[in-house]
């Protein structure tokens, strides 16, 4: 999903969440919702005006729950403190160390085979022809097949396939009855969404004006022209099991479309290695490595033979420190499928502290569709085997801990 925040979750439709999980790609909708929360009517009026303008540049403070707007870009997702941007659609220089990198789904959802097929069920009605659409999607798939063991082959619409691609109106498939599947919202809002493995669905908003080229605003048409290849490549990453990355230059960064990153970074490769294993793509890799190609043809070998050349390591990015649960932890036995909400306490809000959530001592920074939804002072989860564990809420003001709450969740089948 890009750029914007992951949607909140609601009641599940079944006991198996794997086929219901989706990541959506919401455009300027994210900062509209933020402004409306901060000042309902003035913020909404401001956002409706800004929605007709080219994208804004994000400016983040050091509060992970705080957003600000600058007339240079669009609202950002969680950044490290000190990240600033420059005008225009070009790269945004980072002025602070990176925190988290790639993110995997809580259940490590993934495919059990590498030869994936896809079919196109419908085509866009604006601008692009079917042949241009096929070419754009093939380019997006090639971005992933060139650097991973995956191969992608298009099949006829009536044949079974692993991935199913379509361009849909606002109301499509089961979005009206499923709390885990968002309907589209018309032009300039949510652009696309994809489902994690093994569902295989990739949906594009047919109200958008898709093109093969850089995303830009057309003053002549009065609409946004959105790069299909870029958005499709991002959504394919979700369909392979990757969530959003906090690496500023990663294609899977949730602001990647408007920030101009159009190539896969080492961050996506590390994510695939972690999820599927670090594998060579050719049988001759071991022979090439013995001939010294790991040093003389490093770029080629990193792409084709990462295992033989020992390119599977991860750069030691700093991460948010874990926290131990408090000594007194409440235990809750919850029926499977129940939606459970934990509240960090209303009495702490007047203390102006920052709220941090952890699961099993690991920080929670994003909502995970189909699993949990993060709010400012509350956390909602859907009780299942994946979500069992200890949830801790810590309220801090600077370095001082104001309050701590903890719950241990056990699922009753």
Binding residues for Zn(2+): 172, 174, 193, 203, 234, 238, 244, 252
Which residues touch 346 (CB under 8 Å, ≥6 apart)? 377
Q: Is 66 exposed, middle or buried (0-12, 13-18, 19+ CB in 10 A)?
A: exposed
* CA 297 – CA 194 distance, rounded (Å): 36
Helix or strand run (H / E) with residue 358: strand 354-359
Whether residue 164 contacts residue 204, with contact meaning beta carbons closer than 8 Å, is answered with: no
Which residues touch 317 (CB under 8 Å, ≥6 apart)? 97, 98, 99, 100, 101, 247
* CA 164 – CA 149 distance, rounded (Å): 20
Whether residue 193 contacts residue 173, with contact meaning beta carbons closer than 8 Å, is answered with: no
Structure token pair of residue 216? 């830009």
Buried b (16+ CB within 10 A) or exposed e, 19-38: bbbbbbbbbbbbbbbbbbee
DSSP 8-state assignment for residue 213: S
C-alpha dihedral, 316 to 367 to 68 to 319, nearest 10°: -20
Q: Is 333 exposed, middle or buried (0-12, 13-18, 19+ CB in 10 A)?
A: exposed
For CA atoms 154, 155, 157, 161, give the dihedral sign: negative
Select which of 235, 314, 376, 388 is catalytic: 235
Verify whether residue 235 is a known catalytic residue.
Answer: yes
Task: Report in angstroms the alpha-carbon separations of 1 from 128, 189, 252.
Answer: 22, 12, 8
Number of other CB atoms surrounding residue 411 within 10 Å: 19
Point out the residues that are catalytic.
235
């Amino acid at each position: 999903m890009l750029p914007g925040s992951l949607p909140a979750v609601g009641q599940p439709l079944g006991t198996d969440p794997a086929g219901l999980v989706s990541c959506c790609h919401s455009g300027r909708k994210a900062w509209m919702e933020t402004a409306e929360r901060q000042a309902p009517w003035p913020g909404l009026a401001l956002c409706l005006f800004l929605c007709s303008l080219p994208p804004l540049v994000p400016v983040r403070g050091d509060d992970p729950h705080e957003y600000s707007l600058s007339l240079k870009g669009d609202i950002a997702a969680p950044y490290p403190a000190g990240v600033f941007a420059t005008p225009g659609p070009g790269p945004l220089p980072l002025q602070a160390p990176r925190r988290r990198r790639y993110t995997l789904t809580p259940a490590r959802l993934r495919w059990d085979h590498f030869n994936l097929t896809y079919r196109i069920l419908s085509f866009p009605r604006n601008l692009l022809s079917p042949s241009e659409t096929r070419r754009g999607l093939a380019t997006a798939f090639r971005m992933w097949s060139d650097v991973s063991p995956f191969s992608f082959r298009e099949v006829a619409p009536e044949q079974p396939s692993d991935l199913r691609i379509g361009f849909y109106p606002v109301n499509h498939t089961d979005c009206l009855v499923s709390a885990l599947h968002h309907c589209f919202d018309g032009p300039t809002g949510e652009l696309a969404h994809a489902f994690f493995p093994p569902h295989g669905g990739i949906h594009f908003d047919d109200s958008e004006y898709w093109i093969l080229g850089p995303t830009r605003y057309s003053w002549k048409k009065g609409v946004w022209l959105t790069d299909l290849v870029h958005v499709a490549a991002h959504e394919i990453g979700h369909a392979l099991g990757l969530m959003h990355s906090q690496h500023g230059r990663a294609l899977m960064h949730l602001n990647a479309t408007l920030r101009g990153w159009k190539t896969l970074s080492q961050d996506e490769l590390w994510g695939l290695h972690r999820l599927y294993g670090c594998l060579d793509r050719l049988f001759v890799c071991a022979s090439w490595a013995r001939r010294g190609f790991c040093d003389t043809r490093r770029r080629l070998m990193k792409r084709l033979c990462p295992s033989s050349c020992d390119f599977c390591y991860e750069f030691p990015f700093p991460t948010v420190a874990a926290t131990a649960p408090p000594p007194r932890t409440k235990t809750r036995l919850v029926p499977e499928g129940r939606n459970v909400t934990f509240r960090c306490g209303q009495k702490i809000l007047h203390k102006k502290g920052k709220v941090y959530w952890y699961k099993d001592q690991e920080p929670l920074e994003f909502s995970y569709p189909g699993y949990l939804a993060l709010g400012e002072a509350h956390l909602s989860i859907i009780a299942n085997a994946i979500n069992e564990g200890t949830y801790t809420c810590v309220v801090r003001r600077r370095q001082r801990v104001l309050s701590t709450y903890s719950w241990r969740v056990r699922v009753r089948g």
